[in-house]
Amino acid sequence: MTETLPLPPACVTARRISKSFGGVAALDSVDLAPRPGRVLGLLGANGSGKSTLCRIIAGEMMSDGGELLVDGQPARFTTPKDAVRRGVVIAHQHPSLAPDLPVWENLFLGMERCGRGGFVSRAGSRRAAWHMLQAVGLDIDIDQPVERLSAAEQQLVEIARALSREPRLLILDEPTAALSAALVDRLFAHVRALAASGTAIIFISHRLQEVEALCDDLVVLRNGRRVGSWELDGSLDEARVLDLLTGDSDAPARLTERKPRDTQDVVLTLEGLCAGQALRGVDLDLHSGEILGIAGLQGQGQEQLLDTVAGFRRKDGGRILHRGRALSPHRPRDMIRRGICLVPNDRHRQGLFMDQTVGENLAAVALAMQPRPWRLRRRRLAEFVRQTIPRLLIKTRGPTQPVATLSGGNQQKVVIGKWLEGPVDVLLLSDPTKGVDLRARREIYDTIGDLVAGGSAALVYASDIHELLHHCDRILVMYEGRVVETLSGSAMTEQRVIAASFGRAA
Amino acid sequence: MSAVTGQPRTRLAVAPWQALRRSGLGPGLLMLLVVVSLNIALQPDFFSGSSLSGNIATFAPTILICVAQAVIVLSRELDLSLGAGVSLINCVMASLPQDKLGGPLGVIAVAVLVALLLGAVNGLLVAYAGLPSLVATFATGAIWFGLALTIMPQPGGVISDAIGDGYAGTLLGIPVPLLIIAVAMACWALLARHRAGRRIIAVGSNPEAAAVAGIPLRRTKLLAYLVAWMLVCLGAIAISAQTMSGDPRLGQSYTLASVAAVVIGGVSLGGGRGTPWGALIGALVLGLVTNVIYFAGISSSWQEFVKGFVIVAALGFMVLEGRRRA
């Protein structure tokens, strides 16, 4: 344990924190002592309790047991404001912003800069807001409503707000999930400077190389328990971390190489596909049995490409050919009938019925697409649900568990599983492992691999380059609405993907 | 495309046309233009002093009640008891002994107290008891109406002449109804620059984000109801000053009108977006539509039909605008 080393005392200490939801223990007597001037990496699979722990420390949730100490004195945070007053600030993974309010107002939400009599000082706030955003490298119109911003920009607004509250302890909950590599570098520089000035930082990420690059200490959680912690000195023992994360020492630390497949049959062809500003002539061939990755910086049209092929977004020009036949998708329904299925980017809003159960979600597509709507095939659907849960290794108490109570990885498996009742010929996946832990990520790609082995194909967009390099047969790189590079075999290297992402040939 | 660049793009001012689009006032202003043109065509002396001041005196209560609804809608709630509340306040005022209680000011003070009480009941039920506002205020509206009927089963009673004369008069050369509207809008303008008003909008835009940011949700919503009911009170006093008597059915039509005005004025029923200025425009559109029906010699039984039509058209505008934005 690192706590015995001569380090500055922790400003905020979580001691033996326990929390359970509906009888299931989310945290079991967990200690955490982030120290001033150091970045503490908090690693754990989804459902391991990282977010719960952080929310308790930030006053958004009360623990069932244990205590928080601020400068050695017991403290009780009943609201986020209590925590902020004591210098504990959290930047959430999903930005908590008011979409209709301008950017500058969101930066001061709940902590308005007021002049005499409680009137908001507009000029001062706007000027301060501009400086706050400059600090994180965001140069946008601060008067526009936040809803106009991209996911990456909203994330940076959330981070800028947290930074501005002059935290003694800053919690960054997966801040990089939506950011491009350049923005991540910039953020890290800022975090390091903040740490150097004596702030304690808790950093959560699923990307090991980010933890390696940024963190001084590491704590690993599994199933609500602290299973390991040590000091990092610039390098990370990846195999050890993976073992601790999965609790499965037999699991290979690296993914097994995918066997080359017969890739002669073309399943899907795009010719000069255009849609609005996002897609400006996309050409690609998707072969039977392959997993084709789409890489590139954020917002180069990857998500729109998948949406357009799925019939979810109108195309303005070009052709989509499925098994040699030209299609003009008007509705997702037309594409689903042909087995072209989308696992959308935002699983909470587009992928799942969050207030329904696992079983209802798995059966949703089958119900919507059944040929004779007046005849419910209850028994068949129940059978399908019963088989799909173990097939995709969905960790659930059963089909009647509300889908909202599953971890992110298991929710994503449900999104994939709902398509399996019908034929799947082209599986479109938009960042399928966003906020998904490493083990579930592997299981999701295993499922995709099994699916395409039967002759169908998958088109995957992922914001994590390593994920694509690990799992895909070929990688396309998009830049400003076009495919600028196709890489396969030994040419599939991080370097070439990144070079192409910036619109340059390697 | 990419908004993260090295070049500073922060502008200090927003282009006027862009400000108009963001405000959502476009459709409302367009409709206002149409109905004003129709009014001028049908009533050539529309802009004469007497006609204008008559119109303003008629429209003032509607405007106040519509702006009240806008404040509540901004906080992502609704109040379907505004109309019945107006009736109840009116009946209480008309049944009071007008020459006791310190004269007209006493009567007005009682009206304010009643309005605050009604607003507090609605606010507590919605914000603190967590009842859905659509149903809760529909129900309390029935209660207000019932109380109004109990106090005054038949139209009757009197409002003191002082209130009526005051409303018809001028102050510093400005007609009192116009002054009341101006005061109400000035109150909003101040609130919109105040922390409390910004928080009402933030809560309506994203309650969860507001809560996480430390904004007290319940207190903020209660405040929205109380502010709104102060405006309703002002509206009820204005109507009473015009009718000079009590009528338990007096306010009935204002509930739908207020929701309609909010929609026409581009205030999002989902909360957080829009301004009470939109509600003012919406109220003017509805009032002028009534004028058009009257002056065009159309039977007044078509009034509700035409109003409903205007509301559907406004909703259509909003949907089209939303689609263009996406």
**What's the pLDDT tens digit per position in A342-358?**
999 888 888 899 888 99
Element (H, E) at A322: strand A317-322
Q: Which of A100-114, A365-379, B140-154, B269-283 has the highest mean pLDDT?
A: B140-154
Mean pLDDT of B155-161: 84
Question: Is residue A260, in this structure, part of any structural domain at all?
Answer: no
Class of domain B25-36+46-319: mainly alpha
Q: Is the pLDDT at B322 greater than 70, yes or no?
A: no
Q: What CA–CA distance (Å, rounded) separates B130 from B139?
A: 14
Instruction: Please give the torsion angle defined by the CA atoms of residues A350, A351, A356 and A357, in that order, rounded to the nearest 10 degrees.
Output: -170
Q: Looking at beta carbons, which residues of chain B come within 8 Å of A112?
A: 195, 198-199
Q: CA–CA separation, B322 vs B325, rounded Å?
A: 5
pLDDT at B188 over 90: no
Give me the mean pLDDT over the B132-153 stretch: 93
CA A437 to chain centre: 9
- Encoded amino acid at B91, one letter: C
Q: Helix B276-295 vs helix B176-193: angle between axes, to the nearest 10 degrees?
A: 150
Among residues A441, A447, A460, the alpha carbon closest in space to that of A419 is found at: A447
Q: For chain B, what is the total number of helices (H) and then of strands (E)?
A: 14, 2
Domain check: are A156 and A220 in the same one? yes
Say how far apart CA A213 and CA A215 lie, in whole Å. Answer: 6
Q: Which two tokens stand for residue A220?
A: 């690993």
Inside any domain, residue A7:
yes
pLDDT at B239: 92
In a domain, A150, yes or no: yes
Average pLDDT over residues A116-127: 86
* B194 vs A119, A156, A182: nearest CB: A119
The predicted model scores a pTM of 0.73
Could you tell me if residue A255 is inside a domain?
A: no
Sign of the CA dihedral A459, A461, A465, A470? negative
Q: Do residues A237 and A281 both lie within one domain?
A: no
The mean pLDDT value for A316-344 works out to 88
Contacts of B195 in chain A (CB under 8 A): 112, 114, 118-120
Which of chain B's residues have a Cβ under 8 Å away from the Cβ of A77? none
Half-sphere exposure (Cβ direction) of A172: Cα atoms closer than 13 Å: 34
Q: Whole-angstrom Cα distance, residue B71 to residue B275?
A: 8
- Same domain for A215 and A279? no
Amino acid (one-letter) located at A460: V
Statement to judge: residues A234 and A275 lie in one domain: no
CB B83 within 8 A of CB B253: yes
In this structure, what CATH number is given to the domain that contains residue A28? 3.40.50.300
Choosing from A195, A217, A246, the residue where a domain stops is A246
Q: Which residue of A has its CA nearest to B220?
A: A110
Note whether A297 contacts B2, CB cutoff 8 Å.
Answer: yes
**Residue B89 confidence (pLDDT):** 95
Are A296 and A381 part of one and the same domain? yes
Q: Is the pLDDT of residue A9 over 50?
A: yes
pLDDT tens profile A427-483: 999 989 887 877 888 899 999 998 898 889 999 998 877 788 888 999 999 988 899
Overall average pLDDT of the A94-112 stretch = 88
Burial (Cβ within 10 Å: 0-12, 13-18, ≥19) of residue B118: buried
Give chain B's end-to-end CA distance (angstroms, integer).
15
Counted domains in chain A: 2
Residue of B nearest to A149 (CA): B3
Judge if A314 and A401 occupy the same domain.
yes
Say if residue A242 is in the same domain as residue A286: no
**Token reading at A289:** 């049995």
| Residue A328 to chain B, least CA–CA distance (Å) | 21
* Chosen domain end from A176, A211, A246: A246
The answer to whether the Cα torsion of A269, A271, A275, A281 is positive or negative is: positive
Highest mean pLDDT among A17-21, B99-103, B246-250: B246-250
**Per mean pLDDT, which range of A261-270, B131-140, B184-193 is the poorest?**
A261-270
Same domain for A368 and A220 = no
Domain limits, chain B: 25-36+46-319
Please indicate, yes or no, if residue A94 is contained in any of the structural domains: yes
Give the residue, A83 or A151, on which the prediction is more confident: A83
List the one residue out of A472, A443, A445 whose CA is nearest residue A260: A472
Chain segment A262-289, per-residue pLDDT in tens: 557 899 999 999 988 789 999 999 998 8
The crossing angle, in degrees rounded to 10, of helices B104-123 and B161-168 is: 80
Q: Which of B5, B190, B206 to mutate to test the interface with A (most CBs of A within 10 A)?
A: B206
Of B9, B11, B210, the CB nearest to A110: B210
Q: Is the separation of the CB atoms in B89 and B114 below 8 Å?
A: yes
Distance of residue B20 Cα from the nearest chain A Cα, in angstroms: 13
Chain centre to alpha carbon of residue A171: 17
- Same-domain pairing of A188 and A281: no
Both A279 and A422 in one domain: the answer is yes
Is 70 exceeded by the pLDDT of residue A506?
Answer: no
User: What does the pLDDT look like over A229-247, one tens digit per residue?
Assistant: 888 887 777 778 777 776 6
Residues 6+ positions from A286 with CB-CB distance below 8 Å: A266, A267, A268, A269, A292, A426, A457, A459
Residues A158 and A296 grouped into a single domain: no
State the average pLDDT over residues B207-217. 87
Percent of chain A whose predicted confidence (pLDDT) is above 70 = 92
Same domain? For A296 and A334 the reply is yes
Chain B neighbors of A125, CB-CB under 8 A: none
A139:B8 CB<8 A? yes
Residue range B70-86: mean pLDDT, rounded = 94
Residue A172 lies in a domain: yes
Domain hosting A36: range is: 2-246
User: Is A22 a domain residue?
Assistant: yes
Rounded distance between C-alpha atoms, residue B104 and residue A27, angstroms: 65
The SS3 assignment for A284 reads strand
CB-CB contact of A15 with A68 (8 Å): yes
C-alpha to C-alpha distance for A434 and B61, rounded to whole angstroms: 53
pLDDT score recorded for residue B137: 94
